[in-house]
Amino acid sequence: MVGQSSATTVAAVVTVLEQPLSLVVNSKDDTAGDYSPYHHHRHKRLRSDETSTRLGASDPSRVTVPLNQSTSTMALSTPPTTTQNLINNEFGVSKTRVWMKVLDPASQKLLARVPESTPAEIQKAVTVAEAAQPAWASLPIAKRKAILFSLLHVLQQHTVDFQQSLQLEVGKTLQDAESEFERGIDAIHTACSATAEMNGKHWTTNSTETYTIHQPVGVCVVITPFNFPFMIPLWSIPYAVLTGNTVVLKPSEKAPSTANLLGRCFVQAGFPPGVVNIIHGSSGAVEKLLSQPVVSAVSFVGSELAGERVYEHAKATRKRIQVEVSGKNHGIVLEDASKTQTLYAIAGSAFGAAGQRCMALSVMLCVGSTKAWIDDLVQLARSLKVGCGSDPDTEVGPLITAAAKERVEDMINLAEAEGAHVVLDGRNYCVPEYPEGNFVGPTIITKVQTFMQCYQDEIFGPVLVCIEVDTLDEAIEIANENRYGNGCSLFTTDPVQAQIFQRKINIGQIGINVPVLAASGPVARTANKDSFLGDNVCGRSPWQFFTMPKTVTALWR
């Protein structure tokens, strides 16, 4: 666990290939993400006790652990470290002259430097992936699955290391880090349990037979955001490799170290050289990867602006593309809802993970008299502890960068300027032990109108905007007119109202008496409108996305 100085106590994660592993957080801003259940301890008590229903490159000094050494707690090295690329199962320091500083989001201490990988390094990663793909695809799927099962074993050996990485690198609370790890493991299990989705169709007549087969598309690029650096790569990579493809992962430059630890586990699990590669960098690295002719498919989760650029680039070069981007998720509260359960659910979704997830409930639509509940919600949100993720009592951690903090506070300022009321103000929040931290406290804004920027845009911070309406139909109309379509929840004890909501709402993922969760198990993400471009991730969709169907007709006489 991170102590008083998170940069010195948890410096970096294990190095299993006699290479240094750097733990880094970048200083640039980004808006990307997804939802993970909020697990602060009071919410756990609520569920069990009250409702019973339901966060310059220089070589670093290093400590290494040999590959064959089994340990559940990996050796740690002292920052600042140098983030390395993984190409052909070998970690190496980039030859770039462009390095980005990465900072602890709580203490602002320098943790590491992350490279803007060179064109030659990007080309090499794609080339080795292309060279490795035919042999990998020729392995029986049972053998590919066996290697993924080995990966599960390796990952679970290093549970604590991943959790510490997420706490230091992203500022997650322990509960949020544990939840993300569990959901990433679940994603691998789901992929391994559903390989029958690759089975083709078969038709016969008197003398002919026609059947379909699914073949890999080739080299795939996976681009992931900072806020779930363990879980989101595992939404795509297991499906891609199970179907016989090879992968180049480009993780967020703000959270590359969890990805590198994941890469070391891929190697330790027995993936052949070239099957999974990792290239670090910013948007320039993405553009160079997308420009590679041999790349056949691109999976992206991140901000709307970046997602649109990736989508247009991929479309122009005739690549397959799946894009999941921003959201503005509404929680509709009816007068008959269970008040305590509803307020805890909304607070957990809005403020958990510091609001840095695209499935956060960031809009509360108060129907009728429920506007009076806002006072109680303010008291609940005010009681949440804001602090460093390493503190076991912390319920709201820091934002990823100083730029992210500035952007969120600017949005709150703009809301005030446009006439909204800030009834709980998290601006200029100070945690005494971390006076330079990227902290914004839970913030609640009322008297919001739909034309205001705080309603129109994804804020991506611990900010909840509240709109008062008279009826469920009015609430549904507002949610439907919003350009985003990630998620929407209804809180009610009336199943008839729930059915009306379910039928009328035009949003891809809905919850009834629960916030909308990220994709879990065999369920796909089904976002719509401006939250989604191309193909969906998770569920059945990846089996089609990462394979090419081929129809064979044979005549036998």
- CA 542, chain centre distance (Å): 17
Map 204-246 to HEC letters: ECCCEEEEEEEEECCEEEEECCCCCCCCCHHHHHHHHHHCCCE
Active-site annotation holder among 192, 220, 265, 358: 358
Strand order in the sheet with 208-216: 202-204, 208-216, 547-555
Structural contact between residues 20 and 12, judged by C-beta atoms closer than 8 angstroms = yes
Which helix H or strand E contains 202, and what residues bound it? strand 202-204
In degrees and rounded to multiples of 5, residue 367 shows phi and psi of: -90, 125
Helix/strand/coil for 347: helix
Distance from CA of residue 420 to its chain's centroid?
A: 31
d(CA 376, CA 385): 17
Residue 345 makes CB contacts below 8 A (sequence gap 6+) with 54, 331, 361, 489, 491, 513, 514, 515
Tell me how far apart the alpha carbons of residues 35 and 479 are, in angstroms, rounded to a whole number: 19
Q: Which amino acid is at 527?
A: A
The residue length of the chain stands at: 557
For 185-197, give one letter per residue: b (16+ CB within 10 A) or e: bebbebbbebbeb
Cα separation values, 7 from 148, 167, 405, Å: 33, 11, 20
CA distance 435 to 214: 55
Interatomic CA distance for residues 302 and 282, integer angstroms: 13
Separation CA 389–CA 171 (nearest Å): 5
Q: How far is CA 313 from the centre of its chain?
A: 22
The verdict on whether 538 is a catalytic residue reads no
Specify the DSSP class assigned to residue 78: P
Residue carrying structure tokens 């240094």: 20
Element (H, E) at 72: none
Tokens of residue 125, six digits: 């990663």
For 37, 261, 300, the CA distances from 84, given in Å and listed in that order, are 31, 11, 22
Residue type present at position 282:
S
Residue labelled with tokens 């951690």: 397
Quick one: which of 15, 292, 3 has its CA closest to 128? 292
The phi-psi region of residue 468 (left if phi > 0; otherwise alpha if psi is between -120 and 50; otherwise beta) is beta
Task: Please give the positions annotated as active site.
Answer: 358
